Structure 1
């Protein structure tokens, strides 16, 4: 049998057609990614002290290295899944993810840890592959629920990871972060191998390596510019050159893709309203999410971590530990999954764009509440809770919009682009929040001012609100067909 030949579901193994078991396997899979996405965020200071590392290199190991590799590899791996079977590619990704996680747990120094974290970037591909398998493996009447559950688990897992990461950092070695993550990956690997069937929908044609290289290069240039901008200065020639390279590479990517017979991304389908709304919505949602991911833990921990002469000047914040900050966000984290699960019912009653509009509107409302009221812990809990309901709705709406605009054979590829868009949005949002805090300070820059937090939260609200009106501004091109989801 050739690599691209479809495999009959009845040849895939025992008892792999149970919808509940398939969903359990796929939600565990995306949970493994969600945990490792943010579980290391509370450990930046711990890793820096334990490995005697530079602050900038530690930040690269925690966030930047996996971000860059995921942006490059996710569209390519998603396309491989469409061509050669999503289950087998998902299994290969999970094996690679597990090996890198074990390597990170055993890393003798920062260099080895950084390399392992870069390899862990392949894990982002489990999200579009899992969404493709939901559409492929579940009965049609369960696809909306399954997509919502899988999407919600990504956001819920990332929020839960902040709590888990804080608990581990406060009580045991940082290496247990990777040990805990490795156990979840191992469970996901076993569940996918046993319960998820091979599918029959595969794309044809050669893999678009040239398009992948151009897209990856453009995204890397953008992400490096965003991550290094605060250190080098936004007007630094290197940063400006990276932004210019991003524009040039992505423009060339569009030209190449329009001429390719089997493109990595069919840019002509972006004229289709639902697909364009889904990708722009993912970018906006990622930015708004990471604004809150940066700001809420920071304000919860202040004035801890400030210089002795700056701490008395800060009359806001709750002086919580890393674990306490995570627990402050826990109620919001817990509502993401149920909010995602009900999105299918809202869509069936009101239409496919309504959950995205409601989700981004709720996100904007939550950010606005945080901007106006953040003096008390209850106020922060409530504001983040409202925003998190929005996260759940919006994350569940996007794969449904994507699936409505592409054939089943390209589901993973299209969801891969959508996932990368949210990741890029996250990088933009985190840098936006950090830039605002660093520009509005007290004591000569030693501490962020309360005004900085208010402005940053308002910025997150504005970004989300722009996303909420997108479906009213973007319409399908005349004569453009919409593919109904399977």
Structure 2
């Protein structure tokens, strides 16, 4: 009798506990997501205030991406080995210090150095997904994963709006003050509400693997970010691409026989896992085409190019706000969608909706309402894709490698974002005549995004198959299976 009486109280306590965990992680991820794009509207202002060149101001974004690519797999692996909560707390401390340093920077060099430190923040996302899988009951896991995934899109879209408002009306330093406040709040909430990890693998860090992966990512991303200014066929860019391939090839050889490998080669020879990472790459490309192209289109005066709205930084960001706001509800519906349409459906549907919104923008983008409505549709697809990817990773990876696998998936998305931004910049440069981008260039870019979305539709079913067959991956220890992971 007492068991029946106590059960509702126990269930209510469990819901409250998982709700607090979710609130802490959502706050931490939102702080990171906001910082992804918060500086984009202020790059011109930063160039003027710090008396620097466009090339150096571009490194304010590039340094963050490079650091993220190098640090995220290593930090994610540390979470799997030593405890996700403990590592997440240290990440928030380091990120907060980097943000304070950025707010106090007196030169472009100091700001870029602070941004390198801030790059550790990308690891918040894979750590959060791994913590959710350990702490949330199965009935709430889809909702929690969807909410955290959606917050990434909301934060990235919100960063464009908030960054414009703060840059227009206060100071660029206010951008980092906001980031530091969010980091402090996140640190307190994680310390209070997130429990210690149950699945830890222990062992020593794979420093050799981390070094090779880091060098390979630095060479690759440096080639992608500097390609437009150095020339894609220059010896420096081609040399960096060759160097990246060499480092990654050596990494594959070194990691093949290691028991504590940072990069499990089996995950890349297992087709569904490989295609899940490729899906993340395609999604990164598609997302950044819009991040770069839409604000530029909106800020173009109509009298200059025969198109555009002559919008301010703030208004250009507000035009993307509906696309950011639709991400969260779409992400939270992925569990419902999978239960009714099958495990393959969410990723396929997400890419299909992104492609549909992109195609509509390609066909009609001369009025503000078209940007608001059609990009909102892209936001719906974005939310579904962002929630579907960690769900697939959770089905594929053993519990002791979920953080690491999510980290690599996020790096694939980051590399895709760099490719998307650089390809978009190349289109805009090639389409510029007398200082103004031709209107047809934007049409081509929106069709390019549509093509990437269609490619995602083709890839997605092959990635989603794996939820039922992870036998090609390393076996999961019995102790790690105890609670169903």
| Alignment TM-score, normalising by the size of structure 1 | 0.92
Q: Does 1:46 align with 2:38?
A: no
Matched residue, 2:183: 185
Q: Deviations over 1:61-89 (max 9, x none)?
A: 2x101111110000000000001110010
Matched residue, 1:7: none
Matched residue, 1:197: 195
CA distance in 1, matches of 2:453, 2:212: 29
Q: Does 1:250 align with 2:248?
A: yes
Distance 1:17 1:253, change over 3 A: farther
Of 362, 365, 368, the residue aligned with 2:356 is 365
What secondary structure is seen at the aligned counterpart in 2 of 1:186?
A: helix
Unaligned runs of 5+ in 1: 1-13, 304-310
Distance 1:478 1:94, change over 3 A: closer
1:272 is displaced (CA, Å) by 3.5
1:17 is displaced (CA, Å) by 6.8
Of 433, 447, 453, the residue aligned with 2:442 is 453
Distance 1:16 1:148, change over 3 A: closer
Are the counterparts in 2 of residues 105 and 178 from structure 1 also a CA contact under 8 Å? Answer: yes
Distance 1:21 1:94, change over 3 A: same
Of 462, 472, 476, the residue aligned with 1:480 is 472
Q: Does 1:396 align with 2:387?
A: yes
Matched residue, 1:470: 459
CA distance in 2, matches of 1:132, 1:407: 11
1:350 is displaced (CA, Å) by 2.2
Unaligned runs of 5+ in 2: 1-12
After TM superposition, the structure 1 = structure 2 runs for residues 22-421 of structure 1, keeping only pairs within 5 Å, are 22-61=21-60, 63-303=61-301, 312-421=303-412
CA distance in 1, matches of 2:265, 2:460: 19
Distance 1:419 1:200, change over 3 A: same
What secondary structure is seen at the aligned counterpart in 2 of 1:18?
A: helix
Are the counterparts in 1 of residues 266 and 472 from structure 2 also a CA contact under 8 Å? Answer: no
Distance 1:132 1:478, change over 3 A: closer
What secondary structure is seen at the aligned counterpart in 2 of 1:253?
A: helix
Are the counterparts in 1 of residues 344 and 461 from structure 2 also a CA contact under 8 Å? Answer: no
CA distance in 2, matches of 1:248, 1:16: 49
Are the counterparts in 2 of residues 72 and 220 from structure 1 also a CA contact under 8 Å? Answer: yes
Higher mean C-alpha deviation, range 250-259 or range 453-462: 250-259
What secondary structure is seen at the aligned counterpart in 2 of 1:108?
A: coil
Higher mean C-alpha deviation, range 474-483 or range 221-230: 474-483
Matched residue, 1:20: 19
After TM superposition, the structure 1 = structure 2 runs for residues 405-444 of structure 1, keeping only pairs within 5 Å, are 405-443=396-434
Higher mean C-alpha deviation, range 14-23 or range 280-289: 14-23
Higher mean C-alpha deviation, range 278-287 or range 267-276: 267-276
What secondary structure is seen at the aligned counterpart in 2 of 1:259?
A: coil
Are the counterparts in 1 of residues 397 and 470 from structure 2 also a CA contact under 8 Å? Answer: no
Number of residue pairs aligned between Structure 1 and Structure 2: 463
CA RMSD of aligned residues (A): 1.9
Q: Deviations over 1:389-443 (max 9, x none)?
A: 1110000000010010111111100100001111010000001111111112222
Higher mean C-alpha deviation, range 91-100 or range 475-484: 475-484
1:293 is displaced (CA, Å) by 0.4
Are the counterparts in 1 of residues 82 and 202 from structure 2 also a CA contact under 8 Å? Answer: no
What secondary structure is seen at the aligned counterpart in 2 of 1:469?
A: helix
CA distance in 1, matches of 2:322, 2:471: 45
1:273 is displaced (CA, Å) by 4.2
CA distance in 2, matches of 1:77, 1:424: 18
Matched residue, 1:5: none
What secondary structure is seen at the aligned counterpart in 1 of 2:197?
A: coil
